[in-house]
Chain A
C-alpha cells in the first residue's frame, strides 16, 4: 500500500533574496520547522497529542515526529493500527471531549478512508450542535504529488477540503509558513486540514529570530506576498510557490515584474489580498498542482471576476495539474504537473507578449 518515500530534494531554488526575512537568518528545513512546532505546542499544552501510523517508534514515516516519543511518551505520541477511519474518528471524539489531537496521515491520499470523519464528524459538529461541541483538531500530512508514486498516492486535496464549510485548510510553503501555520492550527478551536508537501520536507529556508521564537504564530486566512511586482499577479500555494518565484525570476529578466502571492490559507481564502494585487497588476495567473475543474484556481478566478472585473486587462490564466490520474512514467508525470516554464508562458500570455495559445500547444 505504501512505500515510504525518501525525500528526493528535487527542488533547490535559489531565490532567497526575495524573501522578506532578516539577512542574518538561520537556515531550517521544513521538516524541522514542523517538528519544532509540534514539539513546542505539545510542551505548552498537555492536551495536545499526536496520533497516527508510525508516528512513535518509527519517528514518523517522513520523520516529522522525530524525538517526540522519547520526549512525551507513548500516551501522547500514539502509534495507531492501520485504520484511518477508526483512528481519525477517535481523534475527533477526543476533540469533542476536551483534548487537542493532531492526527497524522501518512499521506493525505489515505485521508480518503477517513473523509467521513473529517467532513461529517469534525467539520459539521459545531454547526449541528449550535456551537455546543467545537472540534479543536488538526489533520496533517503530506498532500499532492510526490515523485513516481502513481495515481493513488499523488492527489492534491486542497479544493476538496477547501469546499467544505466548517474546515480551515492551510498549505504551508516555507519553514516560516510551516512553523507559524502549524502552531496556529493547533491553537485554533476548529478543525484544521494542514496540507504539507513531501518534496518540501527536506528543503531549507532562512528563518528569522522571530520565526524561531516559541510564541511565533501566523494568522489563519492571510496570504503572504512573497515577491512584489506590478505587471502580473501569480497566486500559488505549497510547492508551487517555489515554482512561481522561479518563474518570476525568469520573467524579470524579460522585463516583466510579477507579484507572487503565497496563499498559505486555502480556506478562508484571502480574497482581499488577491483582489488588491490584481487591481494593481490588472493580470492574474493562478497555479496549483490539483485538477483544474472546480479547483482552487477556479475559485480565485471567480472571486476576481466578481470583485475586480473592471480592473482586468487580460483573461485570467489558470495553471493546474492535467485532468488525468497521475501517470507513473517520469516523462508523463512531469507533463501532468505544472512546470516553471508553464507559469512563465502563461504570465507572458497574460501580458500580451507571446504568441497566441494555439501556437504554443
Chain B
C-alpha cells in the first residue's frame, strides 16, 4: 500500500484512499473519490438524511487524485493483531457501558461522554502507537486513555472520584492524564486540545533538532470532533503544524453531530479532509466504522510524521451510538440514521472479518469478552473499595513548587489552619 506521501506533489496533496481490498463488510466502502456516485442510502459519508441528498446534488466532482492501495497480502492483519484490536474495541465498548450503569447508579457524576460506536478510531490509531508517543483528547476521553494503556481500574477509579484514580480524583471524566502513558489530557473545551497537541509535537521536533536527541522521533495524535473543525484553533494549528512540519496527526472523529447540531448545518463544506490540502498537508477521509481501514490510514499518517515529513489530517467518519453525554436526551437525531449506523457496528464488522478470514474462532473471541468482563468487574470493585481523597489532598498539586502558597513551617499545606488565607481556598 502506498500513500505517496514521501513525494507528494500539489496534484497529489489531496489523498482520498481508495481500496482494492475485498471487503467483508456488508457494503462497499465509500471513500471520497466515489462518494459522489452514491446516494445517501448506499453511502456512509455524511449521514443518511434528506438534507444530505440535497447537499450532494449541489456538489461538483472534486479535483482529487485517487491513490490505490496495493496489498502485499490478501489479509490486512495477522491473527495476533486482530485479537489485539478486538480486545481493545471490546474493552472500550464494555467500559463505557459499565460507566453508564455506574452513572445511573450514582457512582459517578457530572458530565460523562461515552464513546460507543467510535471504537474503530481509538483502536485503529492508538494501537499503532509506541508508548512514548503522545495523545491529546477531548472530553470524550476514557477510551483513548484505555487504548493508550492506562489501566481500566485507574480510569474507573478516577470516574468514581477516588484517590486511586489516574489523577487521584482531581481530574474527572473529561480530564484524563497519564504521564507514564503520555496521555496529555482530555480537554473540556472545543478546540483547546489541538494547540496543546501541536505543542507536544513541537517539543518532539525541538528535541531532535535543537537538543540533538536523535532518537526523538515520537509522534503526537490530536483527537477531536467535527464540531471542532469550525473553531479557529483548528485552523491556526493546521497552519503552524504544516509550516513547521511537526510530527502530528490531526484525527477528526466526525460523528456527524456536535451535540444537537448536525455537521451539515454547521459547516460550509462538510468534507473536513479537504482542509488538509488547503494547508499543504495530506487530507484523508476514511470509514471510521472500519478499524482495519482506519489502521491502514493511521499507519501511513503516523509513519509519515515519524519520518519527519510533517502532519496529516485524517477525517474518520464515525457515529456515536449514545447521546452527546449521559445527560443528553438525544432527540434530534433521526431514528433511521441511528439504525443505519447501528447496522455498521465496528465491533461486529471486525468480528465478521476475523471469522471470514479464519483469523479467530468464536471461542477465542468469547474468551476475550469474558476476560474483559472480568477486568471491568475488578475495576468497579477496585474503584468501589478505594478510599475517597483525603481532606489534605484538596490543596495539593496546585503548583509543582508551591513555596509561598500557604506552606507551613513543616513544608505541608496549612489546610487545617482556620486562619489560612494565603492564596488558596479556605478549608
Query: Do A and B bind?
Result: yes
Q: Are B199 and A133 within 8 A (Cβ)? A: no
CB proximity to B under 8 Å, residues A103-137? 116-117, 120-121, 125-134, 136
Chain A contacts of B177 at CB under 8 A?
A: 125, 128-130, 132-133
Of all chain A residues, the one with the shortest Cβ separation from B201 is A93
Contacts of A321 in B (CB 8 A): none
Cβ of B189 and Cβ of A129 under 8 Å apart?
no
Q: Within the assembled complex, what's the spacing in Å between the Cα atoms of A71 and B170?
A: 43
> Quick check: B400 and A126 within 8 Å, CB to CB?
yes
A80 and B240 contacting across the interface, CB-CB below 8 Å? yes
CB distance from A264 to the nearest CB of B (A): 12
Chain A nearest CB: distance from B305 CB in Å? 15
Complexed CA–CA distance, A357 and B400 (Å): 46
Contacts of B106 in A (CB 8 A): none
Answer yes or no: B263 CB below 8 A from chain A CBs. no
Q: Return the contact of A89 from the options B188, B198, B400, B421 (Cβ within 8 A).
A: B198
Q: For A271, what are the chain B residues with a Cβ–Cβ distance below 8 Å?
A: 422
- Smallest CB–CB gap between B408 and chain A, Å? 13
CB distance from B69 to the nearest CB of A (A): 33
| Chain B residue with the shortest CB-CB distance to A51 | B202
Provide the bound-state CA to CA distance between A98 and B421, in Å. Answer: 33
Q: How far is the CA of A95 from the CA of B233 in the complex (A)?
A: 18
Q: Are B422 and A190 in touch, CB under 8 angstroms?
A: no
Query: For residue B405, which residue of chain A has the nearest CB?
Result: A268
Query: Given the known A-B contacts A129-B185, A132-B178, are A89 and B167 also in contact in the complex, defined by CB atoms under 8 Å?
Result: no
A265 and chain B: residue at smallest CB distance: B404
Partner of B396, one of A131, A136, A220, A222: A131
Q: Smallest distance from the beta carbon of B397 to chain A beta carbons, Å? A: 4
Contacts of B171 in A (CB 8 A): 128-130
* Cβ B199 vs Cβ A127 within 8 A: no
> Do residues B233 and A94 form an inter-chain contact, with CB atoms below 8 A?
no
Contacts of B201 in A (CB 8 A): 93
Let me know if A125 and B185 touch, CB within 8 A.
yes
B170 and A99: CB pair below 8 A? no
A129 touches B203 (CB 8 A): no
Instruction: Pick the interface stretch among B37-45, B206-214, B250-258.
Output: B206-214
Task: Fill in one digit per residue for A252-274: 1 if any B CB lies within 8 Å of its CB, else 0.
Answer: 00000000000001011111000
Q: Please indicate the chain A residues that have their CB under 8 angstroms from the CB of B206 in the complex.
A: 49, 75, 94, 99
Q: Is A89 within 8 A of B422, CB to CB?
A: no
Q: Closest Cβ of chain B: how far from A291's Cβ, in Å?
A: 21
Q: How far is the CA of A166 from the CA of B210 in the complex (A)?
A: 29
1/0 per residue, CB under 8 A from B, across A147-177: the answer is: 0000000000000000001101000000000
Chain B residues in 8 Å Cβ range of A121: 187, 192, 195-196
Q: Tell me whether B200 and A166 are in contact (CB under 8 A).
A: no
The interface residues of chain A lying within 8 Å CB-to-CB of B397 are 126-127, 129-131
One of B167, B211, B243 near A130 (C-beta < 8 A): B167
By a CB distance below 8 angstroms, the chain A residues around B167 are 128-130, 132
Contacts A83-B236, A83-B239, A166-B399 given; indicate if A91 touches B404 (C-beta within 8 A). Answer: no
A90 and B199 contacting across the interface, CB-CB below 8 Å: yes
Q: How many A-B residue pairs have CB under 8 A?
A: 180
How far does the alpha carbon of A87 sit from the alpha carbon of B196 in the complex, in Å? 9
Q: Which residues of B contact A131 (CB under 8 A)?
A: 396-397, 400
Contact A86 B237, beta carbon cutoff 8 Å: yes
What are the interface flags for B410-427 relative to A under an 8 Å C-beta threshold, 1 for contact and 0 otherwise?
Answer: 000000000101111100
Q: A97-B134, A129-B167, A133-B179 are in contact. Are A92 and B422 (CB under 8 A)?
A: no
Q: B284 interface residue, CB < 8 Å from A?
A: no
Q: Which of B184, B192, B211, B424 contacts A165 (CB 8 A)?
A: B424
* Cβ-based interface call for A251 (8 A): no
List residues 72-96 of chain A with CB under 8 A from any CB of chain B: 75-76, 80-81, 83, 85-96
Looking across the interface, which residue of chain B has its beta carbon closest to that of A121? B196
Q: CB-nearest residue of chain B relative to A73?
A: B210
CA distance A267 to B404 in the complex (A): 9
- Scan residues 189-245 of chain B and give those whose CB is less than 8 A from a CB of chain A: 189, 191-192, 194-204, 206-207, 209-211, 232-233, 236-237, 239-240, 243
Alpha-carbon distance between A289 and B425 when the two chains are bound, in angstroms:
26
Bin the interface of chain B by size.
Answer: 35 or more
Please tell me if A325 contacts chain B, counting CB pairs below 8 Å: no
B211 engages A47 (CB within 8 Å)? yes
Residue among B178, B206, B421, B422 facing the most chain A CB atoms (10 A cut-off): B206
Which residues of B are found within 8 Å of A95, using beta-carbon distances?
Answer: 199
List, in ascending order, chain B residues with CB within 8 A of A134's CB. Answer: 400
Known contacts A94-B199, A130-B170; A117 and B400 CB within 8 A of each other: no
The answer to the question of B108 belonging to the interface, with a C-beta cut-off of 8 Å to chain A, is: no
Please, which residues of chain B bring their CB within 8 A of the CB of A342?
Answer: none
B210 A76 Cβ-Cβ under 8 A: yes
| Minimum C-beta distance from B391 to chain A (A) | 16
A213 CB-CB contact with B under 8 Å: no
- Once the chains bind, are B398 and A165 in contact (CB under 8 Å)? yes
Query: Are A92 and B401 closer than 8 Å at their CB atoms?
Result: no
Q: A80-B240, A97-B184, A130-B397 are in contact. Are A89 and B210 (CB under 8 A)?
A: no
Docked CA distance A93–B200 (Å): 5
Q: Is B236 a contact partner of A81 (Cβ separation < 8 A)? A: yes
Is A85 a contact of B195 with CB atoms below 8 Å?
Answer: yes
With an 8 A cutoff between CB atoms, is B126 at the interface? no
A190 with B401: CB separation less than 8 A:
yes
Nearest-CB residue, chain B, relative to A221: B404
Other-chain residue from B172, B396, B400 in contact with A190 (beta carbon distance below 8 A): B400
B168 contacts the other chain (CB 8 A) = yes
B184 contacts A189, CB within 8 Å?
A: no
1/0 contact trace for B313-325 toward A, CB 8 Å? 0000000000000
With contacts A94-B202, A129-B171 taken as known, whether A188 is within 8 angstroms of B401 at the C-beta atoms is yes
* Inter-chain pairs besides A94-B202, A190-B401, 12 sampled, C-beta below 8 Å: A75-B209, A75-B210, A81-B240, A89-B233, A93-B200, A97-B134, A99-B202, A116-B192, A127-B170, A129-B175, A130-B170, A130-B171
What are 12 pairs between A and B in contact, CB < 8 Å?
A47-B211, A86-B239, A89-B192, A89-B195, A89-B237, A117-B195, A127-B170, A128-B172, A129-B397, A134-B400, A267-B423, A268-B404
Q: Name B residues whose Cβ lies closer than 8 Å to a Cβ of A.
A: 134, 136, 167-168, 170-172, 175, 177-180, 184-185, 187-189, 191-192, 194-204, 206-207, 209-211, 232-233, 236-237, 239-240, 243, 396-401, 403-405, 419, 421-425
Q: Which 3 A-B pairs have the closest CB atoms?
A: A93-B199, A89-B195, A86-B236
